[in-house]
Amino acid sequence: MAIHTFQEWQELASRLKVRSQAFINGQFVDAVSKETFDNINPATGEIISKVSACDVEDVNIAVEAARTSFENGVWSKTDPQFRKKVLLKLADLIRDNLDELALLESLDMGKKVEDAATVDVPGSAMFWQWYAEAIDKIYDEVAPVAPGNLAHVSREPLGVVGAVVPWNFPLDMATWKCAPALATGNSVVLKPAEQSPSSALFLAELAKDAGLPDGVLNVVPGFGHTAGQALGRHMDVDCLTFTGSTPIGKLFQIYAGESNMKQVWLETGGKSPNIVFADAENLDKAADMAIFGIFFNQGEVCSANSRLLVEACIKDEFVEKLKQRLASCQPGNPLDPDSGIGAIVDKNQLETIKRYIEIGKETARLVAGGEVVNIEGKGCFVQPTIFDEVTRQHQIAREEIFGPVLSVMTFESEAEAIEIANDTEFGLAASVWTGSLSRAHRVADKLVAGTVSVNTVDALSAMTPFGGFKQSGFGRDLSLHALDKFTGLKTTWITYEK
């Protein structure tokens, strides 16, 4: 059952308040330059808001506010019970504003509003709650040193955390960074993607309403090469946590090396394999999930199962099953609960996807989709697209497309499946479908991926770490392990008279 009808979502959208100024030291402010950029709804081409274009000066002011709040202890040195109460309240406020946040996500970057309202926004509230609840349950350590000594090992917040996030799950990516960073007592400067600033700005306002002191969470909307770079190169940012593409992730390592050697944590791209063995117990479920794994969120998912490896003997049957399911994932108005998928984030991304589809048409066999379409005469939409007879040398099998494009490949043996799956520069996620317990373990052991999902795709929870190997990055979001990124261990060694 949809949360709202198409008409109700349209009415809610027509009354929506869209925040567009930077949020620094507890206030909405213009960029120092007064410059703005257009925030465009990719489903309609309409301008949603004119957003403050933050640059070096704005980042400097935001970092100073964050530093001041960190040093004066209004958050960093408070009772954990206080921090827990504030972040729990924030989780409640996110739930109270579910419709509004879901609409901001959808209008900014084109995803289906019903998905935002049932997945992204409840997910964000749950993650905030989870880290809030963790605050008073994590103990420091006492090391087993010789009598007459007490060595206390504590986790210290790092100070000012810069967070630079992408547009595909704007609220959730901001949450994955900010919730553990704030839970551990840091102050944060968040730079949302230029395509999707609105939910981050509203989040900052809600955090203030929840009781977060001024300066502890600042949001600087702007472009990557300006605001993002300024944060990455800032001499007074202690830690930079990033989610985005692999090439930009590498830039942050350079920025850190050329500035103050800040800690850098990267969650970057993927080209995740989904391996279907002929002994899978339920091929219909495998087909349902293969479709979900590549077409959910228009395929704009870092862990999208974009390479489908099917055992040769069932390939034709399996591809037929995929084709039968395509009717339910055709693009449509993102505000319409009956649409299969929404709009692609912007014209640039649309062009990138189009280019890969053209390459695919030249090198592989197009089975379905392959066209850019308009909805109600407007917008950036792509049909769910499937290529068969793809080999691992093909560009569409090697490079991250970040769109609704599936490459189907075949294998003859378990060893070959593993070899193809691991033949990638990425290592974010992988899925395996088999009815054999031994095979499930054997294959999972050998796959190089941060998460291996067996008989499902994209398994994810607050309780389990998320992140990649190889050029998918390092460090982990989610789970208690995320707290490690935002704290440093400090040893206080006391020697006393026995």
* DSSP designation for 326: G
Tokens for 406? 């599936």
Q: Does 241 bind ligand NAD (CB under 6 A)?
A: no
- Helix, strand or coil, per DSSP, at residue 477: strand
User: Is 392:423 a contact under the CB 8 Å cutoff?
Assistant: yes
Number of residues that bind ligand NAD (CB under 6 A): 30
d(CA 245, CA 427): 13
Which of the stretches 108-116, 265-273, 357-365, 434-442 binds ligand NAD when contact is defined by CB under 6 A?
Answer: 265-273
Q: Does 340 bind ligand NAD (CB under 6 A)?
A: no
Which of the stretches 68-76, 213-221, 263-271, 379-387 binds ligand NAD when contact is defined by CB under 6 A?
Answer: 263-271
Q: Does 268 bind ligand NAD (CB under 6 A)?
A: yes
Handedness of CA 116, 83, 179, 214 (dihedral sign): positive
d(CA 345, CA 333): 13
Per CB under 6 A, the list member of 295, 296, 356, 402 interacting with ligand NAD is 402
- Specify the residue, 272 or 410, whose C-beta has the smaller distance to ligand NAD: 272
User: Is 432:420 a contact under the CB 8 Å cutoff?
Assistant: no
Q: Does 400 bind ligand NAD (CB under 6 A)?
A: yes
d(CA 417, CA 421): 6
Q: How far is the CB of 123 from ligand NAD (least distance, A)?
A: 13
Element (H, E) at 100: helix 98-109
Q: Does 193 bind ligand NAD (CB under 6 A)?
A: yes
Binding mask 295-334 for ligand NAD (x = CB under 6 A): -------x--------------------------------
d(CA 140, CA 429): 32
Paired residues of 151 in beta bridges: 143, 493
Residues in 467-486 that interact with ligand NAD by CB under 6 A? 468, 472-473
User: Is 196:223 a contact under the CB 8 Å cutoff?
Assistant: no
Per CB under 6 A, the list member of 159, 185, 269, 273 interacting with ligand NAD is 269
- Specify the residue, 24 or 326, whose C-beta has the smaller distance to ligand NAD: 24
Tell me the pairing of strands 405-411 and 385-388. parallel
Catalytic residues: 267, 302
- List of residues 6+ apart from 273 with CB closer than 8 A: 305, 307, 308, 309, 420, 421, 424, 430, 431, 447
User: Is 245:267 a contact under the CB 8 Å cutoff?
Assistant: no
- Specify the residue, 41 or 168, whose C-beta has the smaller distance to ligand NAD: 168
Q: How far is the CB of 405 from ligand NAD (least distance, A)?
A: 14
Q: Does 77 bind ligand NAD (CB under 6 A)?
A: no
User: Is 228:204 a contact under the CB 8 Å cutoff?
Assistant: no
Per CB under 6 A, the list member of 188, 219, 251, 344 interacting with ligand NAD is 251
- Specify the residue, 267 or 388, whose C-beta has the smaller distance to ligand NAD: 267
Residues in 199-238 that interact with ligand NAD by CB under 6 A? 223-225, 228-229, 232
Which of the stretches 163-171, 180-188, 371-379, 389-397 binds ligand NAD when contact is defined by CB under 6 A?
Answer: 163-171
- List of residues 6+ apart from 276 with CB closer than 8 A: 283, 286, 290, 308, 309, 310, 311, 314, 318, 433
Per CB under 6 A, the list member of 270, 293, 340, 475 interacting with ligand NAD is 270
Q: Does 198 bind ligand NAD (CB under 6 A)?
A: no
Q: By C-alpha distance, which of 185, 231, 196 is closest to 54?
A: 231
- Specify the residue, 175 or 229, whose C-beta has the smaller distance to ligand NAD: 229
Per CB under 6 A, the list member of 91, 164, 275, 322 interacting with ligand NAD is 164
Q: How far is the CB of 407 from ligand NAD (least distance, A)?
A: 16
d(CA 483, CA 497): 36
Per CB under 6 A, the list member of 4, 83, 155, 191 interacting with ligand NAD is 191
Binding mask 425-464 for ligand NAD (x = CB under 6 A): ---x------------------------------------
User: Is 37:223 a contact under the CB 8 Å cutoff?
Assistant: yes
Q: Does 244 bind ligand NAD (CB under 6 A)?
A: yes
Q: Which residues bind ligand NAD (CB under 6 A)?
A: 164-168, 191, 193-194, 223-225, 228-229, 232, 243-245, 248, 251, 267-270, 302, 400, 402, 428, 468, 472-473
